[in-house]
Amino acid sequence: MEKHLEEFFPAGTEEGRLLLQVDLDRLPRHVAVIMDGNGRWAASRGLPRAEGHRAGSASVHEIVEASARLGIGVLTLFAFSSENWKRPRPEVGRLWRLLREKLTKEDGLLVRNDIRLRVIGRRQGIPALVLKEIDRVEALTRENRRMTLVVALNYGGRAEIVDAARRILQDGRISPAKLDEKAFAAHLSTEGLPDPDLLIRTSGELRVSNFLLWQIAYAEIIVTPVLWPDFRRKHLLEAVLEFQKRDRRFGDVRSGGERTGKRS
């Protein structure tokens, strides 16, 4: 086992035993996560919802570093949806303050692990101080290459598709006859990134919640009952192992569609 992996997934631990089962040559290139269950985690402990969000931020720290060490190329986290503005104003304010705090304090994690930050979603409405930190950390990590951490903020999948269509119309350089999937995808906020191979949703809810609607067309979806604040590296490894058991056909009737690269 390589040293950088053994340090994070020690031999003899549950994580170490799980890692031995993972085929490191068949990792998902892009893992997307709907981080759900912070409120329920707090309620089950008689704590305010804000404590659930803070506990969830510890899971973010661990999963970001675990993903980078494993060799996952892109990790996308759904941090704040465009629908989250409907929550009570005090909770929304605390969420933005927590995010700003983590951007300020966790930039070292990204630098140490050679991780690039990329934020997607509409900037309108995001507090100016949060935008300032986003811009700072994106600039700081722009040359990092080990993994790209995509954080979806004020994001909605339908809004992203509408925004892409609007940019195409405003640009005016693509005729209707030449507009295909590749050209359309080039106008999405995830332009230049591979589509997710694996979508993980915590808390047991069976829905995609308006997340990466275009990009998850062929993603393997794994739903775990684990609430996000309890989600740790062992749960990530379990999801990767389940992913590696799947037969990804991309519409091909034959087994091994992923290896042949054929899609229909």
Catalytic positions, written as ranges: 36, 84
Separation of alpha carbons 41 and 53, rounded Å: 9
Which residues lie closer than 8 Å to 185 by C-beta, 6 or more apart?
A: 191, 214
CA distances from 173 to 167, 169, 177, 179, 180 (A): 10, 8, 12, 10, 13
Beta-carbon count within 10 A of 137 CB: 22
Backbone angles phi, psi at 13, to 5 degrees: -95, 170
Residue 66 tokens, joined: 């675990």
Beta-strand (E) ranges in 96-175?
115-120, 147-155
| Greatest pairwise CA separation for the chain in angstroms | 59
